[in-house]
DNA sequence: GAAATATTGATTCTCAATTTCAATAAATAT
DNA sequence: ATATTTATTGAAATTGAGAATCAATATTTC
C-alpha cells in the first residue's frame, strides 16, 4: 500500500498542481490528527507549526485532501464539517450522542447491501451515501436518567 | 385522525402560544405545498398571498411546524434545509440524483431494524437517524452515458 | 377598559466557507 | 541563467442560510 504522502503527491501531479511548503505542512498536520476534527481544529494545529499559514489555504488543502481520497468530510448535523482520515480506512457511518457529542463508528454489511438494492430498485446508479444515527450514549443515559 | 390544522392548534395551546393571522396563513401555505421545498420557496408562496409577511416569521413558523410534528426538515447536503409534510406520512429516507437533484423517497424495514440493532450493540438509546443515498437517476444516466 | 405578555417585520448579526486580489512563488520557455 | 507565464498564497471581503435583536403591534389576562 502506498504511503499517504505519495497518494497526495500523485494527486497533485495528475492534476497539474505543485507541492508547496504550506501544502506539505497542512498534509502533515492532517495526518498527525486523530479521530474527527473540524477545519478550525486543524488550523489551530497548523498555526502552532507556522503562524504564517492562512485559513484559506487550510480550507483549500482540505479540499485537495478530500478529492485525493486522503480525507473524508461529513456534517454531523450542526453545519460544521468534520474531517477524518480516509486512506486505508474502511467505510463506516456514525452513531452520535446528542448529549455529549461522542461519535462511534459503525458499519453494517446488511445495511450497505440493502442500500445498493434500494438504489437498484429505483434505477439509480448509487454513488455514495451518508447515514447518521442519533441517540444517547451509555454514559449520558446513566447520568441523565437517574 | 386529527386534522393537520387541529394538531397545530393543539401544539400552540399546549405551549402557551397563540394563533395569529400570519401563522394561519403560513400553515395554510405549508399544507398546500407538495414534495420537498426550501424556506425560500415557502416564503415566495406566502408573499403571493400577503406581501407583508416577513421571512423571519416564516422561519419561526417552520420551526413551530417542525416541533409540532407537521413538518420534517432535512439537509440534502448543500446546507439548505428542505421541508416536507410529516403528519400522516410514514418515515422515509431519500435517494437523491446528483445530476438533476431529483429525490426519491425510500424505506427499508430491514435497514431500520439494523439501525436499531447497531445502536443497541453500542449501548445507545436511538432517537432518530438520517440516511441519504446519492446516485444518478435513470433519466440522467440515459442522457449522460451514451 | 388597562396592564402584562406575545408576536411581528425589518434589520442586524452570526459563522462556516468561498471568493477576490495583489503579492509572491513556482514552472516553463527562451 | 533570465524572462515569461502560470500557480499559489494570505488577508480581507463576500456569501448565504438561519438566528437574534428590537421597537412597534397585537393579543391575552386582569
Ligand atoms: Mn469516523
Ligand atoms: Mn421526503
Ligand atoms: Zn453522550
Ligand atoms: Zn437525475
Would the CB atoms of A114 and B98 count as touching at under 8 Å?
Answer: no
- The alpha carbons of chain B give a radius of gyration, in whole angstroms, of 18
A86-102 tens-digit pLDDT: 999 999 999 999 999 99
DSSP code at position A130 = E
Model confidence over B47-76: pLDDT tens digits? 999 999 999 999 999 999 999 999 999 999
Q: Which of A117, A122, A136 to mutate to test the interface with B (most CBs of B within 10 A)?
A: A122
Q: How far is the CA of B33 from the centre of ligand 4 (A)?
A: 22
**Which grid cell sits at B74?**
432535512
Nearest to A74 by CA among A144, A133, A13, A114: A133
Helix (H) and strand (E) counts for chain B? 6, 5
User: Alpha-carbon dihedral of residues B73, B77, B78, B84, nearest 10 degrees?
Assistant: -20
Domains, chain A, in order of start with CATH, read 4-85 (1.10.10.10), 93-143 (3.30.1490.190)
Average pLDDT over residues B123-132: 98
Share of chain B above pLDDT 70, in %: 99
User: What pLDDT, on a 0 to 100 scale, did the predictor assign at position B3?
Assistant: 95
Give B98's Cβ-side CA count (13 Å radius). Answer: 14
Residues in chain B with CB shorter than 8 Å from the CB of A103 are none
**pLDDT band at A143, cuts 50/70/90?**
confident
How far are the Cα atoms of A25, A43, B90, B117 from residue A49, in angstroms, in the given order?
A: 8, 10, 52, 44
Q: Nearest Cβ partner of B134 from A123, A129, A138?
A: A129
Residue B67 makes CB contacts below 8 A (sequence gap 6+) with: B11
Average pLDDT of span A134-144: 92
Nearest-CB residue to A79 (from B79, B122, B124): B79
Going by pLDDT thresholds of 50, 70 and 90, the confidence category of residue A146 is low
Amino acid at each position: 500500500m502506498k504511503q499517504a504522502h505519495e497518494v497526495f503527491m500523485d494527486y497533485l501531479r495528475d492534476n497539474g498542481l505543485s507541492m508547496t511548503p504550506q501544502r506539505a505542512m497542512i498534509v502533515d498536520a492532517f495526518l498527525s490528527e486523530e479521530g474527527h476534527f473540524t477545519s478550525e481544529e486543524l488550523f489551530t494545529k497548523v498555526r502552532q507549526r507556522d503562524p504564517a499559514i492562512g485559513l484559506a489555504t487550510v480550507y483549500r488543502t482540505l479540499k485537495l485532501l478530500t478529492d485525493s481520497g486522503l480525507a473524508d468530510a461529513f456534517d454531523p448535523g450542526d453545519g460544521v464539517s468534520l474531517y477524518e482520515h480516509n486512506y486505508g480506512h474502511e467505510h463506516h457511518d456514525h452513531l452520535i450522542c446528542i448529549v455529549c457529542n461522542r461519535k462511534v463508528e459503525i458499519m453494517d454489511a446488511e445495511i450497505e447491501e440493502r442500500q445498493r438494492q434500494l438504489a437498484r430498485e429505483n434505477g439509480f446508479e448509487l454513488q455514495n451515501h451518508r447515514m447518521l444515527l442519533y441517540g444517547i450514549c451509555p454514559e449520558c443515559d446513566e447520568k441523565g436518567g437517574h
